[in-house]
Structure 1
Amino acid sequence: MELRATSPALTSDTEVALTSSSPLEQGALLRACRAVLRPLAQLAVARGLPFTDVAEVLKQSFVEAARAAHPGVLPHRAVSRISTTTGLNRREVTRLMQRRGGEGSARTSPATQAFTRWLTDPAFTGEDGVPSPLPPQGPAPSFESLAHSVTRDVHPRTLLEELSRLGLARVDEDDGRVHLVNRAFVPRADLDRMLAFLGANVGDHLAAAVANVLSDGRRHFEQALFADELSDESLDAARGLISRQWQELLHTLAPALQALIDADKAEGRPAGQRLRIGLFAFTDAMDAPAGATAARPASTPTSIRKE
């Protein structure tokens, strides 16, 4: 068993910002990126967001970060400098720099297109406008014809499997036809709100961690406690303890922060700063070392560590 706590590795006040990395450091950086991107990929796949949309956001973010890293570059040299910094070609950099707002429009996936057409095309709805159950194959109206009306690059069976995975369609065992299950692509009404929290909370946490690694002199509090070899019963007990600790933290910090806000107003101090304080817990099965047995030898020391 292990219990550890962690804090940012760079602690010296004299350290300078990292401007380049060795091959060894790049390997560590790629491993960190992989750990951060894997949950995002899981979210995108679960919600039917195609890779091309995420890649576009990532490229846009690279361009914005490169522009911020070279604030004094002359406009006529900006494209070349950003291209060199990011590895994107000049044409791509020019296109991304010309976009307004940095958002762009999402490309609809074949599943989204099929779902939308099934909802709206009179060829696939009844007289009342309700999407009709469709035979899997055959001439129109069928799911095969619906799929082919959207794309010829994806097999109709594959498209049906994707719609089924997203909880939007199913094959009825009694009549053998394909039925539309949901009439909204996002079944949870509060999903937008949940995603906004995800972006704000995880985004700020990651920004704090990145700032600490880059060592720009404005370090943020970021520590964690790690433990393994816990039973399900122990996890249940730990969840209760974490909840109580959060309530205590909330009841202590909220009034104190409000007092600081009131003092700023009373003193007329410029108030352009923001603060986010969070507590999170994540539980998962332990990764077994390659070739290891399920039980760790009794001679293996157990500990708790701070990260």
Structure 2
Amino acid sequence: MKSTDGFFNQYGGKYVAEVLRRPLDELAEAFHFYMNDKVFLEELRIIQRDYIGRETPLYFAPTATKLLGGAQIYIKLEGLANTGAHKINNAIGQCLLAKKMGKTRIIAETGAGQHGLATAAACAKLGLECIVYMGEVDVRRQQPNVAAMELYGAKVCAVTAGSRTLKDAVNEAMRDWAANFENTHYVLGSALGPAPFPDIVREFQSVIGNEVKRQCEERGVKIGAMVACVGGGSNSIGFFSPFIDQKEPRLIGAEAGGIGPGVGENASRMTGDAARDGIMQGYKSRFLLDDDGQALPTRSISAGLDYCGIGPQLAAL
């Protein structure tokens, strides 16, 4: 499943102010050109190998297999990628694309800090200016990542509006991009936002699923089910990507259950009384919204899973 005119069934789209239509159209054109350019793809492959450290291991987990019983459990160790998470796959891809487009300034939003750290590292590698927007609450609870971003030369801007978390960081990044798109690219960190971002992020993260598929084929492992956590959805959609149009394996996305089923106690966008279709931050998807269409508070022990929405392709699936 890929988008049709920016939509995945009824979800997706490009619900933005007129000022952002030009940079989004420019981005879509460049993305489609360079993803068919052999020179760009080879440059990206070399950076993935030599800077990210791909491919990451597929680890058989004997203790988890024994304790949980039943299936043989394998874990894709994305934490061994440079900067410690899958976020670097998308950050490197988008920053390289932006540099080919002639952009010199990169902005990003971050929640847990991993995307901000990955973008800072990508900018340091490629010689680009980097500004990261991060909710004030997340700045306090993710200080090690803030310090690491600054070591890479990034400027971290604490967002004090709203809930002071990821949603508000996205809003600030979008405002910056609208004012500075001539020389600036917004590296959106998850597979959401206005088209073409969901397609871009999925394609750069699909390296995870492509490696898993190849690694399992080499070992003769038949995959029965794949499980991934789902905040916005970048790791899960990249993990699932090569398998989406197949009948097998089962693809299971786990949302943040928080501390209970009530409003403000979880971040479950696919089920529950507060989950509904809506339009926010430039795209249509499933969100936790009140009766007036305003975002509700969420809760998760993970700063990366407490976003009030979910990527449109995952919503469609």
TM-score by length of 1: 0.20
The TM-score, its normalising length taken from structure 2, stands at 0.19
Considering fraction of residues, name the structure with more strand. 2
Larger Rg: 1
Q: Name whichever structure is richer in helix by fraction.
A: 1
